[in-house]
Amino acid sequence: MTTVYFVRHAEPDLSNHNDLTRDLTPKGIEDRKFLIDYFKNKKLDVAFSSPFKRAIRTIEPVAKSRNLKINQISEFCERKIGDEWISNFHEYCQKQWFDFDYKLENGESLNDTQKRNINALKNILANYPDKNIIIGSHGTAIGTIINYFDSNFDYPAFSKIQPIMPFVAKFNFSGDKVDYRIIAFNSKN
């Protein structure tokens, strides 16, 4: 069995509109402690992340505690929205979840995002069988992965996890069988 822990980044600093360099807020940095506690007694063999700073920084303490190098995989980045900053992000997000082909100019649809993420996941599963893997990623990207394996994971299900930063989506892959569960961490709770 291969276990993959997709970790959604902690709270990002939205004053930086650059997806690649956007870091965590002080709260986001503090909330990484939830992950340290969660992974304390879990075996991890390899670490991957989106190249986006907030994803890397979220799993960094866990990877360091295991002496794991974080391998960056660009396919695990968040979907590209377009060339402009979206002020009403929730409305845009809802449109995408109701139409997986909806995208803005120079942006990605959820179908595009899902295909990219699933291809990267399949490569990891083929190259790291029977390993325990942590992957730093993003809410929508992880949501499309969940949707790929569970078509009942739709916009209402996504909207429940959307405000949670960080969270873990734990997948167990055994042959053709896949099961998952979401572990939520939030200092607001």
The DSSP annotation for 117-154 comes to HHHHHHHHHHHSTT-EEEEEE-HHHHHHHHHHH-TT--
Q: Is the pTM of this model over 0.85?
A: yes
pLDDT at 65: 96
All residues at 6 or more sequence positions from 110 whose CB lies less than 8 Å from its CB, including other chains: 79, 96, 97, 100, 101, 102, 140, 144, 147
Q: Which of 164, 109, 166, 162 is nearest to 137 (CA)?
A: 166
pLDDT at 24: 97
Q: How many residues belong to the chain?
A: 189
The tokens describing 10, both together, are 């902690």
pLDDT at 115: 98
* Residue-by-residue pLDDT tens, the chain, 189 positions: 999 999 999 999 988 988 899 999 999 999 999 999 999 999 999 999 999 999 999 999 999 999 999 999 999 999 999 888 788 888 999 999 999 999 999 999 999 999 999 999 999 999 999 999 999 999 999 999 999 999 999 999 999 999 999 999 999 999 889 999 999 875 443
User: Are residues 21 and 12 in contact, defined by beta-carbon separation less than 8 angstroms?
Assistant: no
